């Protein structure tokens, strides 16, 4: 039982839940002025009793709770975080400073437009910049994240084709695609045709041509794809799709590999989305907020979501009246706070800086690929772009899997790569260093990976039982899913105490 008692340590102990802390009647809320105020007469039957089990903490108590929680997290500013497909680059501090200017943080979306000219100017300019960077014609900043960008993009493809009197039912999605691609297709009422990539890990024009027909609305392609490989046949592939009246959707989540190197708009792409919380340095926040603008070619402009920002003799206006538009995809004007950060990032780097960023992202990824290829087997022996994918093939014979390698990396103070994705690679280890990491950091990470490869051979048990130095060790995910416990409840708290789990 003793091992069930909370670990005693100087640093890094998990605090009890908010609901198991505090004391009845305690509160961090302090509002003496108001006491005189006459209460509103609301019918008693509308009113609830006090919220059962709600937290009752003081200000320091609450702050300490969350500060202690923060110490249980890895973050980019404390650890190297080479999570593939997530572009965990440095999130510049100046972005945080400007996003907190009262003139951005405390403005209301339904205030009269003349009172929001600075915000609209920023958004208008950002749309233009993203169009220039991606080689597209028009941009909408509405979508809240990449997946919503995908949905929006597919919706406008659907609307466009419908207008052309050419309703179609299917979307072609490569087997290497991110899960959001097929999920968005379904959400948009489409049926998904999965096609597999060729032995070089990319789309084969012939294969696409074979499945392409008049039922297919579009191909969703990711470039570079999730293997970190440039879809070198993309123009031919796009040709095959266009030939049968389909459109080409590009998942631009990996745009960090392309700035100044190749513009999606020149590859035959009709619609794409970008992840500002990847390529454009806005923080991931442990799972958002992000922003997933959609960009289109001129032909699809009228279908972009409303509202749209327009400039009319010097002033910026919001226009809602676009009969062909797919409509509104979220409330108000998108994740403005995120857009301010992305704007600041582009302003800071400039065109050359963005190109440099992509070049260095490629340099870092290829450096890791090169130094590790003798120790881990590559999924594909092709030149990589901004990320490289390895497998656990070489470690398998020692009974060591990708999961074990990932967990062991934690003991070395590194966040693991993305694992078991893309699905086409068994035991994938998808490493995306990004351009903001130094070669010394890459070397330290590589050395750790090499050390783990050695441990896998010499002491597999050590790796299979990792991590050994984290606040909690490997967690029983099956148990969590079998009988889901998704919230605190008074009874449970009691039971856990008895079992000494907290």
Partner 1 sequence: MRYTPHTLDDQARMLRTIGIQDIKQLYEHVPARLRETAGIRLPGGLAEVAVRRRLANLAAKNAAATDWSFFLGGGIYHHAIPSAVDAVVSRSEFATSYTPYQPEVSQGTLQALYEFQTLVCQLTGMEAANAGVYDGASAAAEAVLMSRRIQPLSRRQVLVSRALHPHYREVIRTYARNLEDVALQEIRFGDSGATDLERLRAALGPSTMCVVLGYPNFFGVIEDLASAQAACARAGAHLISVTTEPLALGLLKPPGFFGAEIAVGEGQSFGVPMNLGGPGFGFFATQRRFIRNLPGRLVGETVDVEGRRGFVLTLATREQHIRRERATSNICTSQTLCALAATVFLSLMGKTGLRRLAEINAARAHQARARLIREARAEAVFSGPFFNEFVVRVRDLDRAIRRAGERRIVPGIELSRWYPELPEALLVCVTEMNEREEVERLVAALAG
Ligand X SMILES: Cc1ncc(COP(=O)(O)O)c(C=O)c1O
List residues near ligand X by CB under 6 A: 85-86, 145-147, 178, 180, 222, 226, 251, 253, 275, 290, 292
Q: How far apart are CA 278 and CA 434, in angstroms?
A: 10
E strand spans, 330-412: 377-378, 388-391
Binding residues for partner 1 restricted to 303-322, rule: CB under 8 A: 305
Q: How far apart are CA 87 and CA 386, in angstroms?
A: 9
Binding residues for partner 1 restricted to 211-270, rule: CB under 8 A: 230, 232, 235, 258-263, 266-267
Q: How far is the CB of 421 from its own copies (least distance, A)?
A: 23
Q: Which two tokens stand for residue 434?
A: 């990004």
Q: How far is the CB of 336 from ligand X (least distance, A)?
A: 16
Q: Which one among 214, 243, 299, 351 touches partner 1, defined by CB under 8 A?
A: 351
Closest CB to ligand X among residues 212, 430: 430
Residue among 201, 151, 193, 188 nearest 172 (CA)? 193
Helical spans, DSSP H, in 397-473: 402-411, 439-458, 460-464
CA angle 247/253/257 to nearest 5° reads: 105
Residue 96 binds to partner 1 (criterion: CB under 8 A):
yes
Q: Which of ligand X, partner 1, its own copies, none binds 331 (CB below 5-8 Å, type-dependent)?
A: partner 1
Residues 445-484, mask of contacts with partner 1 (x by CB under 8 A): --------------------x-x--xxxxxxxx-xxx--x
477 CB contacts (<8 Å, ≥6 apart)?
Answer: none
Closest CB to ligand X among residues 145, 409: 145
Q: How far is the CB of 146 from ligand X (least distance, A)?
A: 2
Closest CB to its own copies among residues 12, 179: 12
Residue 375 binds to partner 1 (criterion: CB under 8 A):
no
- For residue 502, what are the CA distances in angstroms to 9, 21, 476, 499? 14, 12, 16, 8
Report the run of H or E that residue 290 belongs to, with start and end. Answer: none
Counted residue by residue, the chain has a size of 502
The CA radius of gyration of the chain, in Å to the nearest whole number, is 26
Q: Which two tokens stand for residue 303?
A: 């279908």
Q: Are 291 and 341 in contact (CB under 8 A)?
A: no
Q: How far apart are CA 281 and CA 343, in angstroms?
A: 10
Q: Which two tokens stand for residue 485?
A: 């416990």
Q: How far is the CB of 128 from ligand X (least distance, A)?
A: 22
Q: Which of partner 1, its own copies, ligand X, none binds 226 (CB below 5-8 Å, type-dependent)?
A: ligand X
Q: How far is the CB of 201 from partner 1 (least distance, A)?
A: 12
Binding residues for partner 1 restricted to 99-128, rule: CB under 8 A: 100-112, 115-119, 121-122
Closest CB to its own copies among residues 4, 473: 473
Q: Which of ligand X, partner 1, its own copies, none binds 379 (CB below 5-8 Å, type-dependent)?
A: none
Q: Which of partner 1, ligand X, its own copies, none binds 9 (CB below 5-8 Å, type-dependent)?
A: its own copies
Residue 495 binds to partner 1 (criterion: CB under 8 A):
no
Residues that bind its own copies (CB under 8 A): 8-13, 21-23, 26, 32, 58-61, 63-64, 67-68, 71, 74-79, 90, 92-93, 350, 410-413, 436-441, 467, 469-471
Q: How far apart are CA 233 and CA 243, in angstroms?
A: 15
Q: Which two tokens stand for residue 176?
A: 């290497």
Q: How far apart are CA 171 and CA 174, in angstroms?
A: 10
Report the run of H or E that residue 61 belongs to, with start and end. Answer: helix 59-70
Q: How far is the CB of 51 from its own copies (least distance, A)?
A: 21
Q: List residues bridging with 200 in a β-sheet.
A: none
Binding residues for partner 1 restricted to 168-187, rule: CB under 8 A: 173, 178-180, 182-187
Q: Which of ligand X, partner 1, its own copies, none binds 289 (CB below 5-8 Å, type-dependent)?
A: partner 1
Q: Which one among 407, 408, 428, 464 touches partner 1, defined by CB under 8 A?
A: 407
Q: How far is the CB of 179 from ligand X (least distance, A)?
A: 8
Question: Edge-to-edge, what's the strand order for the sheet holding 294-296?
Answer: 138-140, 294-296, 271-274, 247-252, 216-222, 170-174, 191-195
Q: How far is the CB of 28 from its own copies (least distance, A)?
A: 11
Q: How far is the CB of 153 from partner 1 (least distance, A)?
A: 12
Neighbours of 46 (CB within 10 A): 6
Q: How far is the CB of 78 from its own copies (least distance, A)?
A: 5
């Amino acid at each position: 039982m003793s091992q069930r008692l909370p670990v005693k340590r100087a640093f890094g102990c998990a605090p009890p839940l908010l609901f198991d802390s505090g004391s009845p009647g305690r509160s961090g809320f302090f509002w003496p002025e108001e006491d005189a105020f006459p209460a509103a007469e609301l019918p008693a039957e509308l009113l609830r009793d006090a919220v059962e089990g709600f937290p009752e903490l003081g200000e320091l108590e609450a702050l300490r709770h969350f500060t202690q929680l923060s110490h249980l997290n890895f973050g980019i500013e404390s650890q190297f975080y080479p999570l593939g497909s997530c572009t965990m680059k440095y999130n510049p501090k100046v972005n945080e400073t400007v996003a907190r200017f009262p003139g951005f943080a405390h403005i209301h979306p339904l205030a009269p437009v003349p009172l929001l000219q600075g915000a609209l100017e920023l958004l208008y300019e950002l749309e233009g910049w993203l169009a220039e960077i991606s080689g597209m014609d028009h941009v909408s900043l509405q979508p809240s994240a990449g997946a919503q960008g995908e949905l929006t993009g597919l919706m406008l493809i659907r609307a466009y084709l419908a207008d052309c009197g050419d309703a179609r039912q299917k979307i072609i999605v490569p087997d290497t695609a991110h899960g959001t691609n097929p999920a968005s297709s379904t959400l948009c009422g489409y049926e998904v045709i999965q096609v597999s990539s060729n032995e070089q890990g990319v789309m084969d024009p012939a294969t696409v041509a074979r499945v392409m027909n008049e039922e297919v609305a579009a191909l969703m392609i990711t470039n570079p794809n999730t293997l970190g490989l440039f879809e070198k046949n993309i123009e031919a592939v796009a040709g095959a799709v266009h030939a049968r009246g389909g459109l080409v959707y590009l998942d631009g989540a990996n745009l960090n590999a392309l700035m100044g190197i190749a513009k999606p708009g020149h590859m035959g792409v009709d619609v794409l989305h970008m992840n500002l919380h990847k390529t454009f340095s806005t923080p991931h926040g442990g799972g958002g907020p992000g922003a997933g603008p959609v960009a289109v070619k001129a032909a699809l402009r009228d279908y972009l979501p409303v509202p749209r920002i327009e400039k009319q003799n010097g002033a910026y206006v919001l226009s809602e009246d676009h009969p062909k538009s797919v409509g509104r995809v979220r409330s108000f004007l998108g994740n403005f706070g995120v857009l301010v950060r992305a704007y600041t990032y582009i302003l800071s780097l400039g065109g050359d800086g963005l190109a440099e960023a992509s070049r260095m992202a490629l340099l870092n990824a290829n450096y890791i690929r090169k130094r590790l290829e003798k120790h881990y087997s590559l999924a594909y022996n092709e030149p990589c772009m901004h990320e490289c994918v390895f497998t656990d093939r070489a470690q398998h014979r020692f009974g060591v899997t990708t999961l074990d390698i990932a967990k062991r990396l934690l003991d070395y103070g590194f966040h693991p790569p993305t694992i078991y994705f893309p699905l086409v690679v068994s035991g994938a280890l998808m490493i995306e260093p990004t351009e903001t990491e130094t070669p010394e950091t890459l070397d330290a990470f590589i050395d750790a990976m090499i050390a783990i490869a050695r441990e896998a051979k010499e002491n597999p048990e050590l790796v299979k039982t990792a991590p050994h130095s984290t606040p909690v060790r490997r967690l029983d995910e099956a148990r969590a899913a079998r009988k889901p416990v998704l919230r605190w409840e008074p009874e449970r708290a009691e039971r856990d105490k008895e079992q000494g789990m907290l």
